[in-house]
Structures are given as C-alpha cells and as structure tokens.
Chains A and B, each alone.
Chain A
Amino acid sequence: MMEIDASLVSVAVARLCVEANYDIAPDIAEAFKRARDAEDGGLARRVMDDLLENAAIASEGALPLCQDTGMAVVFVEIGQDVHVAGSLTDAINEGVRRGYEDGFLRKSVVSDPVARVNTKDNTPAVIHYDIVPGDSLSITVAPKGFGSENMSALSMLKPSDGLEGVKKFVVETVRKAGPNPCPPIVVGVGVGGTMDYACLLAKKALLRSVGSPNPDAFWDEAERDLLGRINALGIGPAGLGGHTTALAVFIAPYPTHIAGLPVAVNIGCHSTRHGTARL
C-alpha cells in the first residue's frame, strides 16, 4: 500500500493550475504555426500572429494566456493500492485556491448558479475520480474557459442517425458557435454511453495532444473527415474568416444502449489547457 500525504496533492494541483494558464502547450503552439502558414493572409494570418505573440508575452511576463483562467476541472486516477492521508477532495480544492491566488489567476466561480456570488478563490473544482490498478496517483488539471464551454451541446440521436448523424450534429454545433468560442477551437466529442457519460467523454477527449491519431482506425477517419468539414465552414481564426476554424477533432466512443446514440460536443478554445502530475 502506497501512502501519499494529501498536502502533496495540494502542491501539485497549485503548480498545475499556474503552469496550464501561463504556458502554451507545445502541441498547440505547433498547431498555431501550421495554421498561420495555411492562411492566405489578411486578418486570419494577423490573428494567428497575434496568438503566437500572446503566448510569448504570457510565458515571459508570467501573465495568463487568457484572462478567463477557467473553472478548474480535475481528473484523478487513483491506484487501488494507494492510500491518501487526509481528504483528497479538500486537498485538490486547497491546491486550486493556492494556485489561483498565488498565480494571479482570475477567480471566476460563483457559489450558486442563480444567486451568483463569487467564491473569491475559484473553488470548488469539478473533480472526476477514476480508480485504476497500481500504486500511483495521477492528477490532470484542465482549467476550462466558458466562452467555449457555453457553445458546447448534447444530442440524444436515434441509432438510425448513424455516423452521418453524429457528424452533422458536430458540424452544426461548431457552425452555430461561430466566432464565440475563440477559434481556432479544439472539438471534443463523446459518442455513446449515457447522457452524462457522453459529456464526460467529450470533456476527456480535449486532453488529447493535437496531432495524435485516434487509436481506432474507424474513428480516426471520422476525425479527419470532421476536421475537413469544420474547416470548410470558413469561420476562421477569431471568427473573422479563414481556413482554420478547428485545430483538432477528438472523438471518444463508448458502448451504449440498444435504443440510443448520445453525442456530446465539448468545445475547447485555442487556449485549451491541461497539465498532469504523477505522485
């Protein structure tokens, strides 16, 4: 049995909150450069240049890439041979509190969705726990901005809608979102499971690296086709027109019920951020 002190979890979470918000991920930076070169010029190329400069300024000046430093979404994979001394959930929230305070990150969480009083420390986080074999603890922090979260959608399709129905819903969701979610976006798609699980799959799909293939050849082909269709919409960087509306489409499928075909689309902005630590 591996014993891990909860305070170590707080330290790791605080660090991940700050790093994810200051430093652009290498896969996103590469995708920005490819996108800039793919644009013909004009505003689209200018926007991509601005985003690359923004990333350099953020990293050098210890400024968040975006003022919306997100609601902290935390994925925990806890080995079944691990024992955490202290409350794991409290430790994660303490890490968020410290990371957002010490890192000069914006506190964007309100205590009640209707009363809307800011909690002033960006807690609570949204935490997903997974129990896995082994004796280590893996924590991923994915701060989620709401310009893109608000453009996300779920549809309970009919089985007869099939792959084409799934694709149409994804493209339609991106088309409706237009300039709002800060394109070029990353599109996470959950297909199958139940209503709630499709949404979780879509969120988790955003954690993949831009440029990584889907392990399943069928879904890899669907991702490529969807990326082509989405970029043909012409929404472009910042929604001002251009070839790059999305940097990537990531699909996560799961077994589902004989009567259903749930599809969830979670849109990530161009600042799709996440970092992982293993304890």
Chain B
Amino acid sequence: MSAGKGTEKKISTPLSDSVIRGLAAGCRVLISGVVYTARDAAHKRMFEIAERGGEMPFDFAGQIVYYAGPSPTRPGAAIGSIGPTTSGRMDAYSPTLIRLGLKAMIGKGLRSDEVRRAITTHCGVYLVAVGGAGALISRSVKSASVIAFPELGTEAIRLLEVEDFPAIVAIDSSGNDIYRNAAP
C-alpha cells in the first residue's frame, strides 16, 4: 500500500526497500535520521572515485544524499540556511551512484530519463524540498559535520542529523514523476 498525493509519512534512515516502495509521487515525507550533503563538486569527485573503483566517502546503503551547500553557520547554531539546489546538474553522475547503492536524493527540479530509469531499476526515490526555503529547512537540522572534501567549503560532504526534514516524493520507485503530472 503506497502513500500518494495529499498524504504525509514519517520516515527514518537508513531506508529499506520496503519503505521506499511505500512512497508514491506527491506524498509528503518528514525525514529523521541522517542525510549527507553533496552538490556539484562533491558529485564530480565521487564519480571519479567510482570510475577508478575507489572507496566512497560514506557507505551508500539505505542513505540519502541532499543536493545542498549551506550558508556559513553562526556561532551556537547547528547550520546556516540550507535549501536544495537544482538537481539536474547532478544528472550526469547520479545513475552511477545509484548503481553503486545510493538509495535516495533530495533536491529541486527536473531529472533526466536516465536518472528516472536508474531509480526504477534499483528501487530508489527522488525527493524534493522547497527551493528557496533555506532558513525554514535549517530548523530541521540538529547537527552538521564535514566528513569529506573539507577543501570544497560549502560544497564539502556534510553529515546532517535531521528531525522531521520536510520533503515531497517527486519520482517514486515505480518511475511516477510529480512534475510530469503537475504541468498540463
């Protein structure tokens, strides 16, 4: 039984395949657990690691990557503003990472057919957060630490501990795409 448009579901990481199959395009989710930030530069590096068969900066099993580069953290705060960046720029790298076990991605905007195919083949899910709501989203981040590529600054890979991080299922494991249904 999958949850679709208008419904809301709490999920925790790591994500099992059965939880992923229960998420339908249009469903709102509140994520608790861990998500890893990675955007353009970190994706390029992970792709290069994949090409030479190296070890990834973190174990992909059941994990979520968040396409985000936060603004600097004020003293005493967990994180700065941290909304999603445009996912399409990661399309060149995502199918390879999904093939290597990455389960879920959070971003904003359209994905390529190749990414959608990789999601359906490997039981993945593409989630979107509200673009430009970086201050609001920062409230659901409880802690952040850089775990790889610190020299990339905002583009480093960060482990975020999140509680009720709000997102919407945009492409579900069956390949349904909310953007294709939204526009007439």
Contacts and interface: CB of A to CB of B under 8 A. Distances in A.
Given A63-B135, A67-B83, A106-B70, A178 B130 contact: no
Contacts of B131: 66, 147, 179, 182, 238, 269
A269 B132 contact: yes
Contact of A179 (B81, B82, B179): B179
A58 interface: yes
B183 interface: yes
6 contacts: A54-B132, A66-B83, A67-B81, A104-B72, A104-B80, A118-B154
B50 interface: no
Contacts of A57: 135-136, 138-139
Contacts of B178: 240
A254 B166 CA distance: 45
Interface residues on A, range: 35 or more
B134 A54 contact: yes
A180 interface: yes
B109 A67 contact: no
A53 interface: yes
Contacts of A47: 130
Nearest to A145: B132
Contacts of A202: none
B80 A182 contact: no
A67 B182 contact: no
B82 A67 contact: yes
Interface in B50-77: 68-74
A182 B134 CA distance: 12
Contacts of B70: 67, 106
B153 A238 contact: no
Contact of A63 (B6, B41, B80, B183): B80
Contacts of A234: 182-184
* Chain B facing A: main interface SS: loop
Interface in A177-193: 178-180, 182
Given A62-B74, A105-B72, A178-B183, A239 B82 contact: no
Contacts of A50: 130, 133, 136, 166
B85 interface: yes
A140 to B, nearest CB: 21
B31 interface: no
A235 interface: yes
A238 B130 contact: yes
Interface of B: 5-6, 26, 28, 41, 68-74, 80-83, 85-86, 88, 108-110, 128, 130-136, 138-139, 152-155, 166, 168, 178-179, 181-184
A107 B134 contact: no
B64 to A, nearest CB: 18
Most buried by B among A67, A145, A235, A236: A67
B109 A178 contact: yes
Contacts of A55: 135
Most buried by B among A55, A106, A145, A175: A106
Contacts of B108: 147, 179-180, 182, 238-239
A240 B58 CA distance: 32
B135 A241 contact: no
Contact of A67 (B28, B41, B80, B86): B80
Contacts of A233: 183-184
Contact of B132 (A51, A61, A235, A236): A51
Contacts of A240: 128, 168, 178-179, 182
Contacts of B132: 51, 54, 65-66, 145, 182, 269-271
A147 B179 contact: no
Interface string A51-76: 10111011001111111110000000
Contacts of B82: 67
Contacts of A107: 153-154
Contact of B136 (A54, A62, A116): A54
Contacts of A65: 81, 132, 134-135
Contacts of A108: 69, 154
B140 to A, nearest CB: 12
A66 B71 CA distance: 8
Nearest to A60: B135
A104 B71 CA distance: 7
